[in-house]
């Protein structure tokens, strides 16, 4: 027993890190890949699930919402739960829960069953990202944190990108339950590797008293925030009484939660680490990065399927260059991290992402398929260049005893940022599309000679092709209306890409607060 405890110890001043740190990194990254994959693989199978279960779109939304709400509640609690149960036990138990619930989701025969198991899956999945990140930070020395984040980042960046084509393939070739069954063998393999390789944290402080008020306030506040973001667009935001009720609940619960956690000695979430300026700056930058990333991930498939008519599987394969660019650049940046200035890498990454979004803004329903490759590849490269150094900088100025709590907060903000990005993009897309459609359709009048000539010409040709005269005018009107709507959609997507392309530039001044580099060197000079 003493030998096991000694083996698990990893002194903070150990310059070399854990001797099996790369095997550990690949093991926990495999678990993170499962969670990242699961967030996107379900979306393309929603129509098939609706048909198989005999439910509507509003009802099937619980399959996605239940998972997200459960995950977002668990994420900030990961540091506390790891201290309560022991990090290795907690991580292995969460992975086992995720794997078992994946199997049960695939075996579900009713909406109620699958929603319940998706909630349980979210409880297990929420722990995987933050806990795996904390494990990697501890087993690697600080000078290798960028390299470690490149390995770990493959799971959470490439996983969601691979999800749509994989989900489309499994659904079309097999059936929708296989999007869950595929998690089972990978989860069992990862669980066995975790049990053999992953050490317990030498910095664990055992929980002496359970913070029940903090647990309840956090669960209600964060859960309500997620429902607020999910339902805001469909309910009309603040024109809805339900949204106002959500808002009051969020303000009350999270406000009281912050006050309570700062007051007690053993909080469920250690908010005091936000006093570290570098960590807080990285959290805010991560929030905006996640907001931009998921907004584009949400909008791009809509553009490809709704505007351009591609199938779910075609859309997934068109988007593969994002994963390709992210994977390649994260390997390069991680491999040679000590040779690069992390601030310069982030600046270049933001510039590449902005350039990619500028290219995105020229996409129309007439864009050839091959023209998507380079902008999507550049988007993946830009995001990969930002992700690796930013995550290494986040904990560069924190003691290792605070890393578990820090990763929980960092991943909470990443998740909330993702939800905010989706909510904002859905709202902006709807409003802009509606406005442009109105402005364009209002020009379709007899007083407009060009519109009048086009209308009459379409009607005449339709009649000459055999359509009755009573229907040719209706056909011409429908054709022109579809043209206006597609033009409005193109303009709306253009604005979305421009808005989120600029958003990362706005937060670049936060780099001035990130003064401690991850290689444990002295603080960066004021000109960085």
Mean pLDDT, rounded, of the chain: 79
CA atoms within 13 A on the CB side of 1: 0
- Structural domain includes residue 10: no
The pLDDT value recorded for residue 1 is 40
Structural domain count of the chain: 3
Please tell me whether residues 459 and 399 are part of one structural domain: yes
The Cα 152–Cα 136 span in angstroms is 8
Domain edge (last residue) among 246, 265, 284: 265
Tokens linked to 290? 């996640």
- Structural domain includes residue 406: yes
The Cα 97–Cα 92 span in angstroms is 9
Please check the confidence at residue 2 and state whether its pLDDT lies above 50: no
Please tell me whether residues 202 and 216 are part of one structural domain: no
Please tell me whether residues 359 and 467 are part of one structural domain: yes
The CATH number of residue 156's host domain is 1.20.1250.20
The pLDDT value recorded for residue 463 is 57
The rounded percent of the chain whose pLDDT value lies above 90 is: 14
The DSSP code sequence of 278-289 is HHHHHHHHHHHH
- Structural domain includes residue 445: yes
The pLDDT value recorded for residue 460 is 62
Tokens linked to 1? 């027993």
The 10s digit of each residue's pLDDT in 9-61 is 444 445 567 788 888 888 888 888 887 777 667 766 777 777 777 776 566 76
The total number of residues shown for the chain amounts to 528
The pLDDT value recorded for residue 207 is 63
The pLDDT value recorded for residue 66 is 78
Q: What is the mean pLDDT of residues 301-325?
A: 79
The pLDDT value recorded for residue 44 is 67
Please check the confidence at residue 172 and state whether its pLDDT lies above 60: yes
**What are the helix (H) ranges across 361-466?**
373-394, 403-441, 449-464
Phi, psi of 236 (to 5 degrees): 85, 25
The 10s digit of each residue's pLDDT in 372-391 is 899 999 998 998 888 888 88
The Cα 193–Cα 136 span in angstroms is 15
The pLDDT value recorded for residue 392 is 81
Closest CA to 254 of 212, 291, 217, 299: 217
| Stated pTM of the model | 0.75
The single-letter DSSP state of residue 237 is: G
Closest CA to 94 of 114, 123, 63: 123
The DSSP code sequence of 201-212 is PTT-----S--H
The pLDDT value recorded for residue 455 is 59
Higher pLDDT, 366 or 321: 321
Domain edge (last residue) among 265, 281, 303: 265
The pLDDT value recorded for residue 495 is 83
pLDDT band at 508 (very low <50, low <70, confident <90, very high): very high
Which residues constitute the domain of residue 232?
210-265
Maximum Cα–Cα distance across the chain: 92
- Structural domain includes residue 57: yes
Contact (CB, 8 A) for 46 and 220: no
The pLDDT value recorded for residue 98 is 93
Please tell me whether residues 182 and 261 are part of one structural domain: no
The DSSP code sequence of 35-92 is HHHHHHHTGGGHHHHHHHHT--HHHHHHHHHHHHHHHHHHGGGHHHHHHHH-HHHHHH
pLDDT band at 441 (very low <50, low <70, confident <90, very high): low
The single-letter DSSP state of residue 122 is: H
Please tell me whether residues 321 and 186 are part of one structural domain: no
Please tell me whether residues 376 and 511 are part of one structural domain: yes
Please tell me whether residues 198 and 345 are part of one structural domain: no
Q: What is the mean pLDDT of residues 249-271?
A: 88
Please check the confidence at residue 442 and state whether its pLDDT lies above 70: no
Contact (CB, 8 A) for 516 and 389: no
> Which of 146-160, 311-325, 467-481 is predicted least confidently?
467-481
> Which of 22-36, 230-244, 454-468 is predicted least confidently?
454-468
Please tell me whether residues 21 and 138 are part of one structural domain: yes
User: How many CB atoms sit inside 10 A of residue 435's CB?
Assistant: 13
The Cα 69–Cα 412 span in angstroms is 12
Please tell me whether residues 214 and 198 are part of one structural domain: no
The DSSP code sequence of 250-263 is HHHHHHHHHHHHHH
The Cα 218–Cα 134 span in angstroms is 21
Higher pLDDT, 287 or 223: 287
Please check the confidence at residue 522 and state whether its pLDDT lies above 70: no
Contact (CB, 8 A) for 188 and 245: no
Please check the confidence at residue 6 and state whether its pLDDT lies above 60: no
> Which of 119-128, 336-345, 430-439 is predicted least confidently?
430-439
Please tell me whether residues 504 and 415 are part of one structural domain: yes
Please check the confidence at residue 417 and state whether its pLDDT lies above 60: yes
Closest CA to 102 of 121, 116, 126: 121
Please check the confidence at residue 410 and state whether its pLDDT lies above 60: yes
The Cα 333–Cα 338 span in angstroms is 9
Rg, the chain, Cα only: 25
- Structural domain includes residue 257: yes
Higher pLDDT, 187 or 419: 187
Please check the confidence at residue 123 and state whether its pLDDT lies above 80: yes
The 10s digit of each residue's pLDDT in 347-372 is 999 999 999 999 988 887 778 888 88
Residue whose structure tokens are 């540091």 = 79
Contact (CB, 8 A) for 34 and 190: yes
User: How many CB atoms sit inside 10 A of residue 372's CB?
Assistant: 20
The pLDDT value recorded for residue 225 is 87
Higher pLDDT, 284 or 214: 284
Higher pLDDT, 398 or 95: 95
The 10s digit of each residue's pLDDT in 177-229 is 888 888 899 899 989 988 888 887 776 666 667 778 888 888 888 888 878 88
- Structural domain includes residue 522: yes
Higher pLDDT, 84 or 164: 84
Please tell me whether residues 361 and 379 are part of one structural domain: yes
- Structural domain includes residue 412: yes
- Structural domain includes residue 131: yes
Domain edge (last residue) among 223, 244, 265: 265
**Roughly what angle, to the nearest 10 degrees, separates helices 277-302 and 342-360?**
20
Residue whose structure tokens are 């359709």 = 441
The Cα 498–Cα 521 span in angstroms is 37
The pLDDT value recorded for residue 10 is 44
Residue whose structure tokens are 């984040």 = 149
The pLDDT value recorded for residue 451 is 58
Please tell me whether residues 233 and 346 are part of one structural domain: no
Contact (CB, 8 A) for 397 and 279: yes
Higher pLDDT, 518 or 413: 413
């Amino acid at each position: 027993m003493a030998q096991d405890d000694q083996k698990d110890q990893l002194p903070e001043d150990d310059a070399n890190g854990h001797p099996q740190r790369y095997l550990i990194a690949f093991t926990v990254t495999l678990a993170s890949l499962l969670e990242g994959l699961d967030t996107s693989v379900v979306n393309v199978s929603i129509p098939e699930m609706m048909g198989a279960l005999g439910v509507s779109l509003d009802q099937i939304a619980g399959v996605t919402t239940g998972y997200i709400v459960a995950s977002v509640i668990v994420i900030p609690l990961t540091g506390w739960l790891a201290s309560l149960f022991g990090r290795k036990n907690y991580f292995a138990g969460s992975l086992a829960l995720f794997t078992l619930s994946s199997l049960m989701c695939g075996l579900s025969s009713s909406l109620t069953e699958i929603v319940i198991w998706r909630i349980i899956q979210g409880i297990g999945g929420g722990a995987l990202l933050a806990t795996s990140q904390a494990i990697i930070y501890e087993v690697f020395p600080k000078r290798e944190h960028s390299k470690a984040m490149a390995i770990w980042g493959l799971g959470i960046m490439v996983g969601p990108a691979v999800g749509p084509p994989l989900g489309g393939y499994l659904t079309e070739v097999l059936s929708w339950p296989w999007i869950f069954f595929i998690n089972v063998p990978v989860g069992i393999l990862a669980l066995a590797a975790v049990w053999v390789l992953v050490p317990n944290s030498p910095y664990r402080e055992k929980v002496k008293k359970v913070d029940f008020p903090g647990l309840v306030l956090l669960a209600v506040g964060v859960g309500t925030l997620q429902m607020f973001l999910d339902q805001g667009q469909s309910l009309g935001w603040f024109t809805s009484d339900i949204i106002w009720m959500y808002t009051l609940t969020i303000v009350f619960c999270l406000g009281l939660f912050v006050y309570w956690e700062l007051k007690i000695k053993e909080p469920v979430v250690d908010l005091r680490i936000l006093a570290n300026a570098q960590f807080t700056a990285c959290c805010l930058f991560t929030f905006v990065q996640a907001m931009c990333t998921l907004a584009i991930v949400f909008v791009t498939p809509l553009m490809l399927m709704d505007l351009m008519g591609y199938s779910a599987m075609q859309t997934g394969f068109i988007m593969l260059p994002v994963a390709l660019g992210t994977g390649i650049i994260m390997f390069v940046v991680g491999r040679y991290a000590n040779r690069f200035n992390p601030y310069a890498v982030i600046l270049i990454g933001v510039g590449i992402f902005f350039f990619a979004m500028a290219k995105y803004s020229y996409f129309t329903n007439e864009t050839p398929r091959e023209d998507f490759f380079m902008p999507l590849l550049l988007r993946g490269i830009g995001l990969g260049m930002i992700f690796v150094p930013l995550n290494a900088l986040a904990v560069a100025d924190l003691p290792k005893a605070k890393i578990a709590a820090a990763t929980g907060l960092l991943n909470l903000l990443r998740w909330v940022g993702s939800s905010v990005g989706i909510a904002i993009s859905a709202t902006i897309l709807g409003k802009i599309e509606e406005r442009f459609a109105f402005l364009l359709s209002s020009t379709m009048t007899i007083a407009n000679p060009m519109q009048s000539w086009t209308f009459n010409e379409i009607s005449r040709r339709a009649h000459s092709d055999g359509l009755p005269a009573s229907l040719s005018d209706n056909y011409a009107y429908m054709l022109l209306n579809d043209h206006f709507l597609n033009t409005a959609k193109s303009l709306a997507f253009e604005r979305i890409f421009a808005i989120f392309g600029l958003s990362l530039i706005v937060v670049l001044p936060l780099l001035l607060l990130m003064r401690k580099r991850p290689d444990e060197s002295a603080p960066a000079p004021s000109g960085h």
